[in-house]
Amino acid sequence: MSSKLTSASSTDAVWEGQPRHTVRENPERLAWTVLLSSFAIFVVLAIAAPLSVRYVLEVATVRQTAVLNPTQGTVLLYTPGAVEPIAITDLRDEVTEGSIVEAGDGPTQATMRLIKESDGDESLGSVQIFSGTRLRIDRMRSPMFDLSRAPYQARLTLNQGQMRVFTNSGEQRPLSVRIVTPHGEIDLDAGSYQIAVGEAQTDITVSSGQATLHKGDQAHLVVPPGLRAWITDDALAEQAVTASQNLLRNGNFTESMKDSWESYVIAQSVTPGKVSIMERDGRRVAYFVRQGEDNVPTEVGIRQHIGKDVNVYDKLMLQVDVKLLFQSLSGAGYLSSEYPLRLEVTYTDIYGKQLTWGHGFYYRDPDNENWKIVNGEKIPPFNWYTYRSPNLMELLKETRPARIDSVRIYASGWNYQSMISEVFLVAE
């Protein structure tokens, strides 16, 4: 027989044929229900309350400010929400989250101190900014409570330019730094780093410490000390490589010259010199030759535009293989400028002045004792000679290079024959 709904009272409805129970009929059940519910609430509160307190103790943060100190030129500071910048020529503290720092294209440097312990003046991290850099402070926090085990936090967005980052808290609470660029994100452990952002990619070199590069949600790469890596618009480097970087393109002359080197000739109404690329001794070489009237100065060379900022590098060295075959003019002429082979690096120094450093090679001693050799050396003829320059950052420290503009290789004098191969301008 199917159950059917019948009227049991004016306020209740029951299913016919089923027993009817009320709270009054079973007080023991009520008691157990209240007791168990109370115990469950107690357990939840006993667990949740300490966890909530612990969570607050761990994650609650306090905003910190940076200290900006220009060391060269004028730095522009955009405070949060500001349309017009403030020109900063002296130390400025209280640089807050949301601020943007810009270093102009002229000779400009600045240091930004990130976070310091509340009971001291020593910063736990700093950023050195160079010309053409645009940097935003996204986040700079310290834990609200001393009991927290969380690190100090700094998050910076580097839109363009170059900077060096130093993060070393020593025995203090660690400093966690994240750098955001148009190409990806970089997490920095305690250490020293060089970061450069161009249009196509972000480069990072790890001097000490460890960096983790992120591209999207999945791809990441850990870069240990002494290595470098990069992030492009499309991809992350597959692996870290040596920190050394050759600033020259096609230094072994194996590719088309039109995309890397341009040639030139200086000869006034006389037989000019020539430069050509050929195979010699199992290698590709640039061959410079002039055979014509004697006692007539001429010059032939190749030049490559570099246009590379080198502020973040500690070392800059030129390495080449040279072979001299003939020179009719002894030494380097009376001005020490006419070598059968010479290298020149044109650069802009940290003061914005364009300068040139060069080194020449010869094998015939000067016939005139008054002809002094300046920035040149005598090498044996007919054999390959490997030249490695000193560290130009140290050699030229009074006029330290900030940007490499171009490199020139040329032969000059009367008649000459010379070769060059494996040209490297190495930055570290």
- pLDDT per position as a tens digit, 45-68: 666 556 555 544 556 778 888 889
Of 279, 246, 274, 272, the closest CA to residue 260 belongs to 246
SS3 222: strand
With vertex at residue 353, the alpha carbon angle to CA 350 and CA 358, rounded to the nearest 5 degrees, is: 95
For the chain, give the mean pLDDT. Answer: 84
Tokens of 346: 């044109």
Rounded Cα–Cα distance for residues 160 and 208 (Å): 23
* 103-112, 174-183, 186-195, 228-237: segment of lowest average pLDDT: 103-112
More confident site: 366 or 32: 366
Rounded Cα–Cα distance for residues 247 and 232 (Å): 18
Element spanning 406, H or E: strand 401-413
SS3 30: helix
Rounded Cα–Cα distance for residues 107 and 114 (Å): 23
- Burial tier of 44 (Cβ tally within 10 Å: 0-12, 13-18, 19+): exposed
Average pLDDT over residues 33-52: 65
Are β-strands 201-208 and 191-197 bridged in parallel, bridged antiparallel, or unpaired? antiparallel
Which amino acid makes up residue 177?
V
DSSP string computed for 201-213 = EEEEEEEES-EEE
Q: What confidence tens digit (pLDDT) does each residue in 360-401 have? A: 999 988 888 788 888 889 988 998 998 999 999 999 999 999
Average pLDDT over residues 391-416: 94
Q: What confidence tens digit (pLDDT) does each residue in 253-309 have? A: 988 888 899 999 998 889 999 999 998 888 889 999 999 888 888 999 999 999 998
SS3 279: strand
Q: Across the strands, what pairs with 407? A: 304, 345
Confidence label for 22 from pLDDT (cuts 50, 70 and 90): low
Which amino acid makes up residue 268?
Q
The pLDDT of residue 191: 87
Tell me which residue has tokens 């001291």. Answer: 120
Tell me which residue has tokens 């935003």. Answer: 136
More confident site: 386 or 14: 386
The pLDDT of residue 104: 84
Contacts of 389 (CB under 8 A, 6+ apart): 317, 318, 319, 359, 395
User: What's the whole-model pTM score?
Assistant: 0.72
Confidence label for 339 from pLDDT (cuts 50, 70 and 90): very high
Which amino acid makes up residue 190?
A
pLDDT at residue 185 greater than cutoff 70: yes
pLDDT at residue 108 greater than cutoff 90: no
Of the chain, the percentage scoring pLDDT greater than 90 comes to 42
pLDDT at residue 5 greater than cutoff 50: no
pLDDT at residue 85 greater than cutoff 70: yes
All structural domains of the chain, each given as residue ranges with its CATH number in brackets, are: 61-243 (2.60.120.1440), 257-427 (2.60.120.260)
The answer to whether the CB of 309 falls within 8 A of the CB of 400 is no
The pLDDT of residue 11: 45
